[in-house]
Structure 1
Amino acid sequence: MEQFIMYLKYYVIPFLLISTIFFTFLLLLKRIRHQYYLVYKNSIARKADSFLTEITLSKLDNVTLIQKVSEFKEAIPIHKSWCKEMLIDDMIRLKNNLKGKTAKTLNRIYKLLDLDHYSAGLIRDFRNYKKCQGFYHFQSLDYKPGISLIKKYLFHPNKIIRSNANIAYIILSKGDWQAVDTLPVKISILNTIKVMDIFHSKKIPMPENVVVWIASKNRTILKLAIMTMVFYNYRKNSAEIINLLHDEDISLKIDVIRAIRELFLEEAEAELLILFEREPLEIQLEILKTLKIIGSPKTIAFLRNRIINEPTKDLKLKMVTCLNQLDRNTVNSLGLLDQDTQKMIDHVRQLQI
């Protein structure tokens, strides 16, 4: 026992004490180093922000621009990845607020700083998130020379890489949709949002391939086709849109019903009335929203025969709302026959006040 106590006293406790002091010192040193680099990085960030803003807005000739950029490269740790990332982020921020020749100057600086090679290196990296980061750099800076590299990944076996490459390629090519049919199904919502954002922000003409997309077997492409037709108010393929009402995918079917409403496809009314009988409540409610817009005497007659005996309260309320929009006299006559219907009529009209 005494030997054990001696062992603790002369070996274990001193070792633990020294270890504690050592690691405490190490943590303090790391903290000091972190604070130092934080101040250093902030100073570089301010210098970079000031330089990029000044040189981008200045109308410099090519020789002066090259000289200024060269001097700036010597003043910052451009060899560090964090510095390159910081510069690219600043450029993207500026790019979003600039147009015309000023934006082109920014791309020139991007190239002079060799940041295009850095972004290209990210795309060639074996890590997927790095590749996507490189795609983002090129597309955000509208760096068209990057198209040739991005093009190699349009049919990549990895769905995430393929998706991001396609989005970047579409943006940079201003509407070359040659590989859009490779968009993966599993991230369809993300892809359609991205592509629709391209339409809004880049003002790209309607892709001619939309007439091909509407016949695709890929539901991602079908969703994209529907959203594209709605965005451009394209009604020539209304028959193909209406035919998609019979697709088994509920989310696609809802998109189609909404598209019929947005495009005011009156020719879909009969099909919607037939579909109404065999669809679940979610689809029925969406159909009623559309019939409220495109409905004719056919819809009025349909609702007149259904409302009073409809057992589902939510559905009945939507029916009353729809009929109230299409024919107030008919819905008034139903209210006289059924007290519950009259309460719903009063409720609907109260909401409209």
Structure 2
Amino acid sequence: MNSIFHRVTIHELIIAIVVVLSLVVLLIMMVLLYSFYKYKVLHQRQIWLQESEQKVTQAIVSGEEVGSVDEKFIMKLRNPSFRNIFLSVLVASDQKFSGGARNEVNNLFKTYKMEDAAWQKIRQKKAYVVAGGILELAVMRVESALPYISSLLEHPKRQVYQEAQYAVVSFKGFDGLDFLNTLVAPLSDWQQLRLLRSIGKLPVAHEEWVKNWLSSSNQTVIIFTLRLIRKFQLLPFYADAINLFDHRSVTVKVQAIRTIIALENVETINQLIAVFFKQPIEAQIEILRALKKSRSPQSTPFLQQQLWHHPAISIKIAATEALIALKQHDYLQRIATDETVPEEIKQVIKHALQEKT
């Protein structure tokens, strides 16, 4: 029996405990060393960040002659980590400032040959590194990089081709949007806002491009174009926006409604009411929001009808909110206290009036 069940001796138990404790102590030491290493890295990064910001501040406040080089700073720039931090500070500063201050930031970029570092990034394989290089070359207005950046519009990585889109538009303005003619991938809302912000004016010959984008098979291109129409108040495209009420995408319908409200004329309210019942709930709610925003008295009977007869509670609520915007408080309060009115309608009105209060 003793040969089958080996009894653990005190000596073996002590050895096992010592081994376990040694492993625990080793693990603690490794965690402490790693934590100390991370602290040193973060601390060093903070020092480099302050030095980079100080360099930019000094150039902006005192001016720094183009071509004059701080040799000590050059030595620090040989460290890739410091170089990346300095580049990020230059990019952030360029986007923050304008005029002479922005020129000084650009001079620093040229003086310390940061263009070379950005080119090294743009030729890497990691998407986030390439995107960073594109941003740096675009923000610093290195126009010689435009052909190469344009070739990245078809890059398989989303992060890369989106940064390339933004860069091309930053360089070329409206003309840089020609990639929309063949774009298959979706444009995110954030990317659309970035592109819109980069466009300061439209060329005289913009109408053909805009009309082409409104018929794109890519619905995000249509949505972007509707936002472009709103931004620049392109009144000739009012009818084109109305035609999009028949589009298969609810999101496109909603954006089309917002667009014709932005381009509003004397027929807009009647046109919205006329298409109301052909639209899905989401688009109907957007139409009611549009009527609320316009505050046109001619929509009052229609809104009252939706409050009484529309089957969807969300539509009743939206119609009530629009009536409040039209100062129909007395009408709503009278209904809310009428015993013959269905309880559902009374609850909708009371809720809307309380929210308004």
Match runs of 1:75-94 below 5 Å: 76=76, 78-94=77-93
- 8 Å CA contact retained: 1:143, 1:172: no
Tell me the equivalent position of 1:250.
250
Secondary structure of the residue that 2:235 maps to in structure 1?
coil
The offset of 1:313, in angstroms, is 4.6
Task: Say if 1:149 and 1:105 are closer, same or farther in 2 by CA, change over 3 A.
Answer: farther
Q: Please tell me whether residue 47 in structure 1 is matched to residue 51 in structure 2.
A: yes
Q: Please tell me whether residue 277 in structure 1 is matched to residue 277 in structure 2.
A: yes
The offset of 1:18, in angstroms, is 5.8
The residue type equivalent to 1:163 in the other structure is: Q
Tell me the equivalent position of 1:62.
66
TM-score, normalised with respect to structure 1: 0.78
- State percent identity of aligned pairs: 18
In structure 2, which of residues 201, 225, 238 is the aligned counterpart of residue 205 of structure 1? 201
Tell me the equivalent position of 1:131.
130
Tell me the equivalent position of 2:168.
169
Q: Please tell me whether residue 289 in structure 1 is matched to residue 289 in structure 2.
A: yes
The residue type equivalent to 2:247 in the other structure is: D
Q: Please tell me whether residue 73 in structure 1 is matched to residue 69 in structure 2.
A: no
Tell me the equivalent position of 2:229.
229
The offset of 1:187, in angstroms, is 4.5
The residue type equivalent to 2:257 in the other structure is: I
The offset of 1:26, in angstroms, is 4.8
The one-character-per-residue Cα deviations of 1:123-178 (angstroms, maximum 9, x if unpaired) are: 22112222222223233444444323211112334444222211121113333222
5+ long unaligned stretches in structure 2: none
Tell me the equivalent position of 1:151.
150
Task: Say if 1:219 and 1:14 are closer, same or farther in 2 by CA, change over 3 A.
Answer: same
The residue type equivalent to 2:97 in the other structure is: L
CA distance in 2 between partners of 1:320 and 1:38 (Å): 55
- 8 Å CA contact retained: 1:324, 1:345: no
Secondary structure of the residue that 1:178 maps to in structure 2?
helix
The offset of 1:330, in angstroms, is 12
- 8 Å CA contact retained: 2:181, 2:212: no
The offset of 1:9, in angstroms, is 7.5
CA distance in 2 between partners of 1:330 and 1:18 (Å): 81
Match runs of 1:190-201 below 5 Å: 190-199=190-199
The offset of 1:215, in angstroms, is 2.5
- 8 Å CA contact retained: 1:166, 1:180: no
Task: Say if 1:11 and 1:224 are closer, same or farther in 2 by CA, change over 3 A.
Answer: same
The residue type equivalent to 2:246 in the other structure is: H
Secondary structure of the residue that 1:217 maps to in structure 2?
coil
The offset of 1:179, in angstroms, is 1.5
Secondary structure of the residue that 1:276 maps to in structure 2?
helix
The offset of 1:218, in angstroms, is 1.5
CA distance in 2 between partners of 1:13 and 1:314 (Å): 68
The residue type equivalent to 1:73 in the other structure is: I
Equivalent residues, number: 341
The offset of 1:227, in angstroms, is 0.6
The one-character-per-residue Cα deviations of 1:232-283 (angstroms, maximum 9, x if unpaired) are: 1111111111000111111111111111212214444444333222333332
The one-character-per-residue Cα deviations of 1:274-295 (angstroms, maximum 9, x if unpaired) are: 3222333332222122234285
CA distance in 2 between partners of 1:291 and 1:190 (Å): 27
CA distance in 1 between partners of 2:65 and 2:304 (Å): 75
CA distance in 1 between partners of 2:351 and 2:7 (Å): 90
CA distance in 2 between partners of 1:305 and 1:19 (Å): 77
Tell me the equivalent position of 1:101.
100
CA distance in 1 between partners of 2:95 and 2:232 (Å): 24
TM-score, normalised with respect to structure 2: 0.77
The residue type equivalent to 1:149 in the other structure is: Y
